[in-house]
């Protein structure tokens, strides 16, 4: 067993190669094999979002604060808010982030295969981001 005390691990600014805007990540768990779970609390400032990406075994998002957007490739963004949980199946291209005028924090949970929990693609264009929630 291992206990990680609150506030004992630093927040990390998200890699700008994979995110637009200001995004902070706080680790929850990166389990060692044979477990595969990786989880982060991710805080997006207004307008911030991930790049397009996929996960080898899917991803669960649980919104803990604020309101934001999630979008599958080829679809319109959908609104999400505190208390919502989103499941994105394996291999499905998607992005998620804050709303244009609202911050959002979610817990992102995904499993790794061969050490990788995500495949990152191109940044989300402003046109795709501002396409409007359905």
Which domains are assigned to the chain?
12-114+122-128 (2.60.120.10)
Question: Shortest CA distance to 31 belongs to which of 119, 115, 107?
Answer: 115
Instruction: Kindly tell me if the per-residue pLDDT of 134 is higher than 70.
Output: no
| pTM of the entire predicted model | 0.94
Q: Does pLDDT of 39 surpass 70?
A: yes
Read off the DSSP letter of residue 101. Answer: S
Q: What is the pLDDT of residue 5?
A: 93
58: left (phi over 0), alpha (psi -120 to 50) or beta: left
With CA atoms as reference, report the closest residue to 97 among 76, 122, 79: 79
The CA distance from 59 to 56, in Å, is 9
State the Cα–Cα distance between residues 29 and 13, nearest whole angstrom: 17
Look at residue 123 in the predicted model and tell me its pLDDT. 98
């Amino acid at each position: 067993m291992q206990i990680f005390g609150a506030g004992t691990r630093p927040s990390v600014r998200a890699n700008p190669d994979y995110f637009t805007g200001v995004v902070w990540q706080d680790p929850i768990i990166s389990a060692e094999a044979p477990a595969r779970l990786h989880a982060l609390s991710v805080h997006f400032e207004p307008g911030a979002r991930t790049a397009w990406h996929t996960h080898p075994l899917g991803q669960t998002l649980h919104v803990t604060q604020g309101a934001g957007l999630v979008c599958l490739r080829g679809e319109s963004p959908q609104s999400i808010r505190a208390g919502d949980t989103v499941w994105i199946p394996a291999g499905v291209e998607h992005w998620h982030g804050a709303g244009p005028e609202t911050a959002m924090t979610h817990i992102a949970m995904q499993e790794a295969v061969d050490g990788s929990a995500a495949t990152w693609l191109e940044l989300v264009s402003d046109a795709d981001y501002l396409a409007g929630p359905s």
